[in-house]
Structure 1
Amino acid sequence: MAGGKYNVGVIGYGLSAKTFQIPFITAVPDFNLYAIVQRHPKPEDDARKDHPSIKLYGSAEDLVKDDQVHVVVVTTAPDSHVQLAKLALQAKKHVVVEKPFTPTAAEAQELTDLAKSQGVLITVYQNRRWDSDFLTVRKYIEDGTLGRIAEFESHFDRHRPDPPAESWKAYNTPGNGAVYDLGTHLMDQVVHLFGMPQRITGFVGSQREVNPHGLEDSCTILLHYDKIKMVATVKAAVVSPEVNQLRFWVRGVKGSFKKFHADPQEEQLRKKGLKPGDEGYGIEPEENYGTLNICKNGQILSEVAPTVKPATYAEYYRRLAAALDGDTSQIPVQPEEAVGVIRLVELAQESSRQGRTLTV
């Protein structure tokens, strides 16, 4: 149905669906929000009230039986991703899986192979490839401004030393924890820029003094790119009492780029009620711009580095539409890359357990 509308069925109606998926599905004309799976609607939380034109299903099994559903988006907890994605693929639906893809690389590869055998697409929702600050970093790397990169540092640090509120996110279950949650975002960005590393050193555990469920709430991972003589450090901490949190610090032979503050889209979506298309959505205030240091004539000169114009997370679904229309080079996240990121998660955890650097 190249060029037509694709009916989307969303499994789950929590934060991911409401905040990070549905606003962008509905922002792209190629997609129609057709159905939602919500097992237990409540008066204050009812998908039918929020989206009166949808079909509401009580189970994923009922959703995938609907031959009018073309794309299934899995937004549930990570330990259910494999079962639900497999159910949709077996029904010959295209599938988008919220990150993290799966708890294990073997499961990720199984889903990738199943999609190929069924003749459908599978991809993972790594929306932060379209963070404006990451696109700014990417620009300076690709246009040669920084020269050969020696160190790439990327952070999602927060100061949240108290135990998290009771929910599935508070438990150390398969596919949960810092290395799966924020770590997969950070490593995906690095792999997207540089490919897979040759070696990995992981430090995965808890920084919280009180941790009743054994949640791995923090991680620091070194990705060693021996062939290009670079080390990438990705870090997610919950003990970081800073007014301005470091986001990127990239150092090359010709210059460096340093930036504080995260991309504004998540805060705008969750706290300010903005959506794609609203005035100011995705635009970073000038006071949050990064700093560019450039080597010229034996001196290092510093200047403000404006954040690039945001593509916003809607670009993910624009690319997915192009891929469904036949241009598979536009698959927003190639499943093979997503498999590789989960493999890095496993290796980071094993490296941390063994206390040594491992070969990828």
Structure 2
Amino acid sequence: MSTAIKTAIASYGMSGKVFHGPLLKVNPSFEVLAVLERSKELSKELFPDAKIVRNYDAILNDPDIELVIVNTPDKLHYEMAKAAIIAGKHIVVEKPVTLKSSEAEELAELAKEKGVVFSVFQNRRWDADFRTVEQVIKEAKFGRLVEFESHFDRYRTTITPDTWKEEGDEYSGVLYNLGSHMVDQAFVLFGWPKAVTAHLKIVRKNGVVADYYDIRLEYDEFAALLKCSYLVKDPGARYTIHGEYGTFYKYGIDAQEENLKAGHLPEGEDWGREEPELWGTLVYEEDGEDVEELIETIPGNYNIFYDNVFEAVRNKAELLVKPEEAVKVLQILEACLQSNREKRTIFL
């Protein structure tokens, strides 16, 4: 049996407390040795035996630590990830992996040179709704794909004070936050688009960074529409997929994040399951007759990500989230910024 990977978490804010901490806590393939907290000791609740360190060098200089989770504010990812790779550590970096695709490319090459595993925490590939959409598209009962539409809407009328996510330049805001997930999902489903058109806006009063986007990714025979707004009181369908012979609708959003925020650990056979009233509906034509199917939602499971990281580190397995994919996602996000700035379609 392979030994657990000795791990350090580089931050214990929202992502550390809600996502990485609980996922590592329930996974026996990882042992958290250290957590970086500048002044608090919140990680003691999940990891009473782990060291709390006050600076990043304490992690980099610890020879026992094999894996570093770089989950700090976005602008710090590049330098911290690079330092960890140079120190010979495997790394998992929060999305967006860096602010610029050139930085991500550099990290990917450096990780290859150093022989370390480098993955990006694109956990929403294992949302229940997205896993179900993957299956529906693969089965293609609706025939040739005509249009794919995905929404990640929220309702937040106020600006949260003193948070880096609500301030900064064009790399801040919702595009590099939720947009990183949605563009990654589109890339997983459809690959590299032919063209990108994007509109970014600030819709909340007193906002300073974009909290709305409307992205259109063009492919050979269809378009993928990705939309997000922070002022949607009553959300519509999460996914709408139109094919030549039918349509798939899926309402509701994966519940894992809310359950993790509520303090539930991601374990047990019911983890990630969705109530039947939120299952998707597929309506299509078959042999001249209309058919309506209720599509059972595949359970969400963020644990799959860290199971794969363990296999990659210990057994040289192929990564499910490759750094090269993260580079492509950033290039698409950069095209979105260019499209919005220049008010035109960017052909890739």
Measured against the shorter chain, the TM-score band is over 0.9
How many pairs were matched up? 348
Q: Distance in 1 between matches of 2:172 and 2:37?
A: 22
Look up the match of 1:281. 271
Query: Moved runs in structure 1, 4+ residues, more than 4 A?
Result: none
Distance 1:113 1:106 in 2: 11
In structure 1, the partner of 2:70 is 74
Displacement of 1:161 in angstroms is 2.9
Deviation at 1:324, TM superposition (A): 1.2
Which structure 2 residues correspond to residues 132-147 of structure 1 after superposition, within 5 A?
132-147=128-143
Q: Cα distance, 1:230 vs. partner? A: 1.3
Identity percentage of aligned residues: 34
> 1:171 Cα shift?
0.4
Unaligned 5+ runs, structure 2: none
The aligned counterpart of 1:300 is: 290
Is the alpha carbon distance of 1:29 and 1:256 closer, same or farther for their aligned partners in structure 2, counting shifts above 3 Å?
same
Displacement, 1:210? 2.4
Map of 1:8 onto structure 2: 7
Match of 2:311 among 322, 330, 353: 322
Q: Structure 1-normalised TM-score?
A: 0.92
Q: How far 1:265 sits from its partner (Å)?
A: 0.5
Structure 1 residue 279, shift from structure 2 partner: 6.1
Is contact 1:161-1:207 (8 Å) kept? no
| Inter-partner Cα distance in structure 2 for 1:72 and 1:175 | 24
CA deviation map 1:121-173 (0-9, x unaligned): 11110000000110101011112323322111111011223323331111024
For 2:134 and 2:215, locate their aligned partners in 1 and report how far apart those are by CA, in whole Å: 20
1:233 aligns with 2:225: yes
The letter for the 2-side match of 1:109 is E
For 1:189-338, list aligned pairs within 5 A.
Answer: 189-211=185-207, 214-226=208-220, 229-242=221-234, 244-271=235-262, 273-278=263-268, 280-310=270-300, 312-329=301-318, 331-338=319-326
Is contact 2:97–2:104 with CA below 8 Å preserved after alignment? yes
Paired residues of 1:85 and 1:97 also in contact (CA < 8 A): yes
Judge conservation of contact 2:25–2:46 (CA < 8 Å) in 1: no
Any conservation in 1 of the 2:308–2:317 contact (CA below 8 Å)? no
Q: 1:166 to 1:246 in 2, by over 3 A?
A: farther
Residue pair 1:179, 1:345 contacting (<8 A) in 2 also:
yes
Deviations 1:35-55 (A, max 9, x none): 1111112xxx53235422112
SS at match of 1:318: helix
Separation (CA, whole Å) in 2 of partners of 1:33 and 1:146: 46
Superposition deviation, residue 274 in structure 1: 1.6
Is the CA contact (8 Å cut-off) linking 1:100 and 1:175 kept in structure 2?
Answer: no
C-alpha contact (below 8 Å) 2:6/2:65 kept by paired residues: yes
Unmatched runs of 5 consecutive residues or more in structure 1: none
CA RMSD of aligned residues (A): 1.6
- 1:128 counterpart SS class: helix
Residues in 2 aligned to 1:259 and 1:109: alpha-carbon distance in whole angstroms: 35
Q: 1:52-101 CA deviation, whole Å, 9 max, x = no partner?
A: 21122111111011111111001110010011101100001000001111
Alpha-carbon contact 2:17-2:43 (below 8 Å) kept: no
Hey, what's the Cα distance between the residues in 1 that align with 2:36 and 2:50?
Answer: 10
Residue 48 of structure 2: aligned partner: 52
Distance change in 2, residues 1:174/1:321 (3 Å): farther
Alignment pair present for 1:96 and 2:92: yes
Distance 2:249 2:336 in 1: 26
Question: How far apart are the structure 2 equivalents of 1:139 and 1:357?
Answer: 31
Find the aligned partners of 2:46 and 2:3 in 1 and give their Cα distance.
Answer: 25
User: C-alpha distance in 2, partners of 1:245/1:59?
Assistant: 45
CA distance in 1, matches of 2:83, 2:115: 15
SS of the counterpart of 1:97?
A: strand
Q: 1:175 to 1:290 in 2, by over 3 A?
A: same
In structure 2, the residue matched to 1:177 is: 173
Asked whether the equivalents of residues 268 and 281 of structure 1 are also in contact (C-alpha less than 8 Å), the reply is: no
Amino acid at match of 1:314: N
Q: SS of the residue aligned with 2:34?
A: strand
Instruction: Give the match's secondary structure for 2:213.
Output: strand
The aligned residue for residue 124 of structure 1 is 120
Verify the 8 A CA contact 1:78 1:174 in the aligned structure 2: no
* 2:164 is equivalent to residue 168 of structure 1: yes
